[in-house]
Amino acid sequence: MNNTIKQVFRSPKFLVGFIIFSMILLTAVIYPVIVRDPPLAILGQGTFFEPGVYVSTFDTFQAKRYKLDLEDAATKRIAARLGPQERQDLKAWLVTAGVPEASIDTSDTTALMDLWVNTYDPAKSEGMTSAKRNYYERLDLSLKGILGTEGVIIATTNAETGLLEESDSFARDDFVNLNQIPVVRVLPLGTDNFGRDMLTELIAATRTSLLIGFVAGIVATSIGLILGLMAGYIGGIVDDFIMFVTNLFTVIPSFVLLILISFSIGQESRGAFTIAVVIGLTSWVWTTRAVRAQVFSLRNRDHVNLSKLSGHSIFRIMLKDILPYIASYVVMALILQISSGILAEAALSILGLGPKTTEVPTLGLMMNWAMIYSAHVTGKWWAYIPVLVDIALVSFSMNLMNTGLDQVFNPALRE
């Protein structure tokens, strides 16, 4: 046994697959211990916040201020709002408003802004499309005070008089230290359409999906194994019957069957566990056939015949004399079944037939909601690419382990 395991870990393919898989598994187990937020808590008021560090504006005003004299601060501020495209757009508007093109120098920020502030009038956008008109109004607003040096005043409403009173002000060279701000939230993968933290949700979903995969894989492999062993070893009418049923299931595409069963269970009782069992119940067919074929070749071996002569029960023979010889195959089948179970859940959820919505996050459900809220059309990559990569990594690592095992156990492939 030890020797076999050593041999397995010497296969580079298995090792890489195993490392990737263990890392995913470890993250799924350890992360919830560190970050204790419920994965489905709605944090953001708004959809699809971009990945990044979110700092409380209120706390920023309250925090201790430092003066930093940065030479490029003003340049950076201007560049953020007045890039090359915006400069060209300003020029285009000025030209339509009758300013001679030759007198506009887009590289001279001061002159350009001077010209803009003195010329721009929303009423002169006549004849433009609404989209263009609105664009220039927004642009004009965003450029207000871009060249100034004055700070900003903070005012609070006096409860008695209802008037605004200056309570604080800050200058353009004021800075705060991020470490001193009490309320900061890192959203490494942003938020989803419900305003939930994507990373926390993704890891919780990976857990659920792995669980679904394991349950589905174990159910499918157990059924396949038991039926295969019986058909292969007992033979005769039992074999005929099992093969009849198996062939029936082979002809019906299992995914169609899966869709029909999921649909008929109804949304109410469609928990993650139920879905896992349903996936398992519809994907045992190939395991049965393969195990049966293996058992066929084993059942007339000498040691099996000897066991028979010694009067051992069928059960014992199957368990002790046949199973160990096909164990490696069964483990490989199990790994494949787990990986295909995860994929099946994802596929079902994208069709809206997955586990009951938002009771637990699953990878498929996350994809489903991202699609419903058009994340892929509006370029909110963080709402679906990490999920895709996660699904791909899980099934890639499992397939890699499987190929590695195959190389070790399959004599035809042994180097």
**Sites of contact with other proteins (CB under 8 A):** 42, 44-48, 127, 129-135, 137-138, 193-195, 266-268, 352, 356-359, 371-374, 376-379
CB of 54 to other proteins, least distance (A): 16
Cα–Cα dist 141/345, whole Å: 48
Cα–Cα dist 279/302, whole Å: 38
CB of 392 to other proteins, least distance (A): 22
Cα–Cα dist 45/210, whole Å: 30
- Cβ closest to other proteins, residue 177 vs residue 267: 267
- Cβ closest to other proteins, residue 46 vs residue 236: 46
Distance of CA 326 to the CA centre of its chain: 36
Sort strands 152-157 and 184-187 into parallel, antiparallel or unpaired.
unpaired
Which amino acid, residue 20?
I
CB of 49 to other proteins, least distance (A): 11
- Cβ closest to other proteins, residue 139 vs residue 218: 139
CB of 191 to other proteins, least distance (A): 9
CB of 176 to other proteins, least distance (A): 27
Three-state DSSP state, 186: strand
- Cβ closest to other proteins, residue 46 vs residue 162: 46
CB of 233 to other proteins, least distance (A): 46
The answer to whether residues 315 and 323 touch, using CB atoms and an 8 Å cutoff, is: no
DSSP-assigned letters across all residues of 249-302: HHHS-HHHHHHHHHHHH-STT--HHHHHHHHHHTS-HHHHHHHHHHHHHHTTSH
Cα–Cα dist 364/350, whole Å: 6
- Cβ closest to other proteins, residue 319 vs residue 372: 372
- Cβ closest to other proteins, residue 135 vs residue 255: 135
Cα–Cα dist 386/373, whole Å: 16
CB of 357 to other proteins, least distance (A): 6
- Cβ closest to other proteins, residue 4 vs residue 134: 134
- Those residues whose C-beta lies under 8 Å from the C-beta of residue 78, and which sit 6 or more positions away, are 109, 146, 147
Cα–Cα dist 192/384, whole Å: 9
- Cβ closest to other proteins, residue 17 vs residue 44: 44
Among the listed residues 398, 394, 380, the one whose alpha carbon sits nearest the alpha carbon of residue 46: 380
Among the listed residues 378, 380, 342, 381, the one whose alpha carbon sits nearest the alpha carbon of residue 363: 342
